[in-house]
Amino acid sequence: MNATPVTVHGIVRPDGSLELSQPIALPPGEVEVTVQPAAAPPQPKRKKDVLAVLERIWAEREALGLRGRTKEQIDADIRAMRDEWDERQAELERIRDQARSSRE
């Protein structure tokens, strides 16, 4: 018999049954089970931690010469998308009007 312990995560259900997250790589047969609560989930990171990560990302991007889009570039992209939508909407209305006139 394999004397090496196997650690598998699981969940204790409200009825007391145990659901394992994966099959156990042991041959069929009797086993001894010890259950202990998993480590407490990590506490949510504070805003300072998020800001530190963002500042690191910004510094790395700047070191690589990567720049974000300017406000003007973003506004131009939005205008282009709106114009494209307006053109598509006008095309759909033209098709609808043609279909109506052909039925009359």
- Domains of the chain, by residue range, sit at 47-103
Instruction: Give residue 77's pLDDT.
Output: 97
In whole angstroms, what is the distance from residue 7 CA to residue 12 CA? 15
9 with 21: CB under 8 angstroms? yes
pLDDT in tens, 62-90: 999 998 899 999 999 999 999 999 999 99
pTM of this structure: 0.39
Q: Is 16 exposed, middle or buried (0-12, 13-18, 19+ CB in 10 A)?
A: exposed
Please identify every stretch of the chain with a pLDDT value under 50, giving residue numbers as ranges.
1
